[in-house]
Amino acid sequence: MAIIHHSVEQAKYFLNQNQVIAIPTETVYGLAANAYNASAVQTVFQIKNRPNHDPLIVHTHVFEKVFDFVTNFPSKAQILAKKFWPGPLTLLLKKKNIQNLITANSPQVAVRIPNHPLALALLSQLNFPLVAPSANPFGYISPTRPQHVESQLGKYIPYILDGGLCHIGLESTIVGFQEEQPVVYRLGSISITSITKTIGPVLIKNHTQMQKAPGMDFSHYSPKKKLYVGDISMLCKKYAQYKIGVLSFKKNYTDKSIFVQKILSPSGSLTIAAKNLFHYLRLLDDSGIEMIIAEYVPNQDIGSTINDRLQRASAKSIC
Ligand code: TXA
Ligand code: MG
CA distance 243 to 225: 11
101 lines ligand 1 (CB under 6 A): no
pLDDT for 183 equals 97
Ion ligand 2: residues, CB within 5 A, are 134
| For ligand 1, mutation pick of 56, 92, 122 (most atoms within 8 Å of CB) | 56
Assign 300 to helix, strand or coil: coil
Which of the four pLDDT bands, split at 50, 70 and 90, describes residue 130?
very high
Ligand 2 centre and the CA of 292: distance in Å?
A: 21
Is the predicted pLDDT of residue 309 greater than 90, yes or no?
A: yes
Q: If residue 41 lies in a helix (H) or strand (E), which one and from where to where?
A: helix 38-48
* Mean pLDDT calculated for residue range 113-126: 98
Which of the four pLDDT bands, split at 50, 70 and 90, describes residue 272?
very high
305 lines ligand 1 (CB under 6 A): no
Helix axes 8-16, 117-124, angle to 10 degrees: 50
Q: Which ligand is nearest to the CA of 184?
A: 1
- Percent of the chain scoring above 70 in pLDDT: 95
pLDDT for 317 equals 72
What's the CATH code, domain 226-318? 3.40.50.11030
pLDDT for 217 equals 60
pLDDT for 221 equals 82
| Cis peptide leading into residue 201 (ω within 30°) | no
Is the predicted pLDDT of residue 84 greater than 80, yes or no?
A: yes
Q: Which ligand is nearest to the CA of 207?
A: 1
Q: Which ligand is nearest to the CA of 222?
A: 2
pLDDT for 93 equals 97
Rounded to the nearest angstrom, the gap between the alpha carbon of residue 117 and the centroid of all alpha carbons in its chain is 18
Which of the four pLDDT bands, split at 50, 70 and 90, describes residue 212?
very low
* Mean pLDDT calculated for residue range 90-106: 97
* Mean pLDDT calculated for residue range 36-43: 98
Which of the four pLDDT bands, split at 50, 70 and 90, describes residue 180?
confident
Which residue lies with its CA nearest to atom 19 of ligand 1?
A: 215
Which residue lies with its CA nearest to atom 3 of ligand 1?
A: 172
What's the CATH code, domain 3-204? 3.90.870.10
Q: pLDDT tens digit string along 218-238?
A: 667 889 999 999 999 999 999
Domain 3-204 and domain 226-318, same fold? Reply is no
Please name which of 105, 94, 108, 107 lies closest in space to residue 53, comparing C-alpha atoms: 105
CA distance 63 to 81: 8
Please name which of 23, 19, 20, 18 lies closest in space to residue 5, comparing C-alpha atoms: 23
CA distance 15 to 105: 24
Q: pLDDT tens digit string along 133-176?
A: 999 999 999 999 999 999 999 999 999 999 999 999 999 999 99
The domain segmentation of the chain, as residue ranges, is: 3-204, 226-318
Average of per-residue pLDDT values in the chain: 94
